[in-house]
Amino acid sequence: MSRRLSWVFLAVSVAFFLFIVGLTGYRLEDVRNRNSLSSRDRLVDLTARVTAIRGTYAGLDSPAARKELRSLFDGEPRLLLLCVRSSTDGILYLVARNQAYLKEPAIPTAQWRGTPVYQVSRGYEVTLSRPLGGDAPGTFLDSVFIIMGREDLYPIVRDDLYLFLAFLLVSGVVILIVMSVQDVPPASEKPSSGPGGPQSRTSPRSGLVRAQYLEPRLRFELERAAAAGQDLALARIRIDNPYADSHLAEVYTETARLLRLRFPAHDCLFEAANDALTALIQETDIDAAVRSLEAFRKAVGSRQIEGRVRTLSVGVTSRGGRLVSASVLLEEAEISLAKASREGGNRVVGFRADPARYQNVSAAG
């Protein structure tokens, strides 16, 4: 995937992440507000019912009154604490699902006076208080309600997970489509037709792409490399002393076979002349290309072909971050190859462009 598309994907991912965070925050706050309002409504109802129980049993000390209060508490699953307190008589009734909700005193006595301090988790629980009313001045009903519990979090987390999985699925499909489109060769590389019918791009002599397809492919690869911010190397390879005997065809075929073994992108390997070959090496800078071609040169020179050791001269250049044309890159590779031949052959010469004058062919070496 090109650098431009990578940045687009990153921007979309960040926007999606911010959307998920914002949506989750909005839903959490909405649930808290709705549950907080519901808790206030429930407290009004509880106050009326506690007042009715107190009036029926003339107080809250009898076992029957306490039993009804306990039943009232158990019927409210979001209610964590229920306390009836009087400014004159202290705590009249207290029930809680956990003793830790009453911060002090932990175990109230009949003589205890004042307003209890409740221990609650902010954002998840709320403390509400309301006068009991009736003929009980100074009597209050305190409560602690859950406003954000597991049952509230689960739907939000589940929906976020579904959205995340859908984003991954759509992103994967888009990436596959983009990669498949990028891998389609340009129209100029399609096999040409002649009087005898369509001509294959691959030469039966060497198994390499025919020379006439080099420049269109090179232009295409340069455009793709520039859009993706990647490097691209171009190598010219020539067999040293090709006409030392009469076995050039066999030597050329074997050299081409070894080139295909060394560089798996076979659609980027081209015939160049009776004694030369060309290789486009994608996403590779000049130093890495020199190392790869040096290994290839040594591999060819380490074996006998048709009864003798053969050597290669190689000239290589690369885009190197430049907006360079195909013709300039080809000329640089030829200059490097000529230098390798002048220095005795059997070597790899890399073209080093002057960054300050990269649009001109400057020097090889």
Instruction: Kindly state the percentage of the chain with pLDDT values over 70.
Output: 84
Mean pLDDT calculated for residue range 173-190: 63
- Average pLDDT for the chain: 85
Are the C-beta atoms of 225 and 284 separated by less than 8 Å? no
Q: Classify domain 3-151 at the CATH topology level.
A: Beta-Lactamase (3.30.450)
121-150 residue pLDDT tens: 888 999 999 998 766 678 899 999 999 999
Q: Quote the pLDDT of residue 8.
A: 82
Are the C-beta atoms of 314 and 334 separated by less than 8 Å? no
60-91 residue pLDDT tens: 889 999 999 999 999 999 999 999 988 777 88
Q: Does the pLDDT value for residue 49 go beyond 80?
A: yes
230-252 residue pLDDT tens: 999 999 999 988 776 656 778 88
Q: Quote the pLDDT of residue 195.
A: 43
Q: Classify domain 205-357 at the CATH topology level.
A: Alpha-Beta Plaits (3.30.70)
Instruction: Provide DSSP, 130-184.
Output: EE--TT-TTEEEEEEEESS-HHHHHHHHHHHHHHHHHHHHHHHHHHHHHHHHHTS
Whole-number Å distance between alpha carbons of 240 and 248: 11
Q: Quote the pLDDT of residue 111.
A: 59
212-232 residue pLDDT tens: 999 999 999 999 999 888 999
Q: What are the domain boundaries of the chain?
A: 3-151, 205-357
Q: How many CB atoms lie within 10 A of CB 223?
A: 12
Mean pLDDT calculated for residue range 323-338: 93
Q: Quote the pLDDT of residue 323.
A: 87
Q: Does the pLDDT value for residue 356 go beyond 50?
A: yes
Whole-number Å distance between alpha carbons of 162 and 50: 45
264 is written with which tokens? 């798996």
Q: Does the pLDDT value for residue 162 go beyond 80?
A: yes
- CA R_g for the chain: 41
Q: Quote the pLDDT of residue 245.
A: 61
Task: Name 48's Cβ contacts closer than 8 Å, sequence gap at least 6.
Answer: none
Instruction: Kindly state the percentage of the chain with pLDDT values over 90.
Output: 56
302-327 residue pLDDT tens: 888 777 888 999 999 999 888 899 99
Are the C-beta atoms of 209 and 203 separated by less than 8 Å? yes
- Tell me which of 316 and 178 has the higher pLDDT: 316
Q: Quote the pLDDT of residue 113.
A: 62
